[in-house]
Chains A and B, each alone.
Chain A
Amino acid sequence: MLLRGTDRAAFAVAFVARLRRAGLRVGITETDDLVRALAVSPPTSRTVLYWTARVSLVRRHDDLAVFDRVFATVFDDTPPLPLSRSALPPKSRENSVHVAVPGTGGETATEGEGLPWATLPAAVAADDESADDGLGLPELQPSALAALADVPFEELDQAQTEALGAALRAALTHWPQRRGRRHRTDPAGRRVALRPTIARARRTGWEAITVVRERPVPRPRRVVMLCDVSESMRAQAAAYLQLMRAFTTVADAEVFAFATRLTRLTVPLRHTSTREAIDQAGAAVDDRFGGTRIAGNITALLDSHHGDTVRGGVVIVASDGWDSDPPEAMAAAMARLRRRAYRVLWLNPRAGTPGWTPKVGGMAAALPFCDRLLPAATFTDLTEAVHHLRDLSRPASFRSSPAR
């Protein structure tokens, strides 16, 4: 028998405190469950104690790893291991260091390090026009935004990117919809709503004179966005992150970043503070600016338990199509994605360049499975892309070009 003579409540509270320090959200209810569970199931061995504590304290699969580690630290005589989650408070990140990003042309000025995401201005480009007003403007006026909208991402600084991100969020007023299975009373509806009809009949001596009708409530389609954060997409990553944040804060969306492996950013990007959200997302992605495995990551998404989120949704892939996986793998992955999703949009930062053709192997292989290939080099492009979402909810005959 373990813990003989221990105050169960004191033990549970102390253990929960350990878990909470490790970043697990364990509340009073769970603690209470553990105390009661220990009463009905006395810990006769370490395994029994483990299962008792795990069943009563852990409520989600993602927390199991942390729980196991804390449990091992407490009950094995091993030295404490560094905890991965929340070990570094995101606030401790240095925000003010700017990285100069190689532009599309020849200028490659790299100085400093540590920004979680790429943004910044090639110093050269910023010099000539914004030398005097660069840092002085705390807030951008609409006219300034309009001027920035057509500037390529690599020439924007962080504040400008954030301001445009906010503008993007405001532009997201139309969301693709589908017919839902819930109904709402509506005079134009087709179905008779029995419950309100009978309730109404009460006024007329239970004679159902007014027939109340109902119709299905449209539901927003889920938008799933996959953003390439590899080296070749360095300049665009920050702007795309703003778009992803706009999606997560406005409605039902799942967003992922990938370079060599897939990272889910839906939760970090939902943070109320933009700066904090972007920082947390930056901390979550540890493979940025590496190589790219687009096909591998799309397959990973479809195979994971998030694979079902794609079903019936609008998928947006933001990438330049440079893929280290073979084009056949890309075609297979995109075919699977296409079968599962409602629409697939591809945002390519190079697509707006005059004379551009999808020659890159990955892009050429993916193209037959995309409903639209949209340019995405400036914020005007992104706003356009957002407007395309609205078009998607219209019947096929109203769209400018056939979907398949």
Chain B
Amino acid sequence: MNNSLIIGRKEFKDILHSGLFLTVLQLLLALTATSVIVSSLVFKSQVSSYQSSFHILKELGKQPGGPEPQLFPLNLLRGAVDYLEIAGAILGILLGSLTIAREKNTQTLKLILTRPVSRKDLLFGKMLGNATFIGIVLVFVGLFAFLSLVFVAGAVLALTELIKLLLVLVISWIYIMAFFSLAAFLSLGMRTLSNALILAFTIWLVFVLILPQIGDTMDPDNQVPGGFFNSIHFNKEQEKQVLARFGSYENARNFIEELSVTKHYERTAFALFGIKPEFNGMQVPDILGQKWFDILVTVLFFATGTFANYSILNKKDILVWD
């Protein structure tokens, strides 16, 4: 354990020293701020268009239909979740690849492993340092999201909302660490580092972008700008009735989405932020109870990655870093 701490501390210092990560941190903060600003502007424009049509209808002597759009501050963080999905995974991949690159390029992995250090110490040390860094980045992102909500959107956050924000940060942390372990595994196992990096990015592309995209574009409701059912004035109930007849198609669509760890992460985060309206009023334990499977898949992805690294590091009959 002591060895893991020594390795972890050095790992953390290394990351802080490389200017690259200041850039990534700034990028993530800028993306969070951008998404909060754009979302709150969109929300404000929705409110003002509601109000103007409300006045027109009133002047015409008609009863305006539908309630005024209500602000759920955490809804404004949808874009931030999207960015954590995409850029967070990139950060994980880069850290995972760099942590191995640092040792491979300098042959220092051989030096470490000829010390009384077990390979488990090495793995946990590396994970500890990177997990701490990712944790700190996420704390900054969370703080920044909170401040943007308060100062840009003028929102007031209740305690439950703060807890939800914190939980999303925790699940994001597991999600990013999963990509970290994927990249570290590939960098350990493959001869050329840049090949390992490109392979990691290919996997990222498939899991993070392509699979969710296929599921999304197969959604009948997404075929018309603004939503198909909306365009023919169907409500949720009627939509369900119609879609019930296309069970196998919907199942296939869902199956494709289920293959992507990103979608599971996104479903959990979206539920906690109440992006789907039915989750807005729900208590935290109920949301977690409903989303247990998505949380489990995200955790399993991370656990599998960690185990894979452990196995490859223990495979002593090949020198994985030569």
The answer to whether A and B assemble together is no
Residues of A near any B CB (own CB < 8 A): none
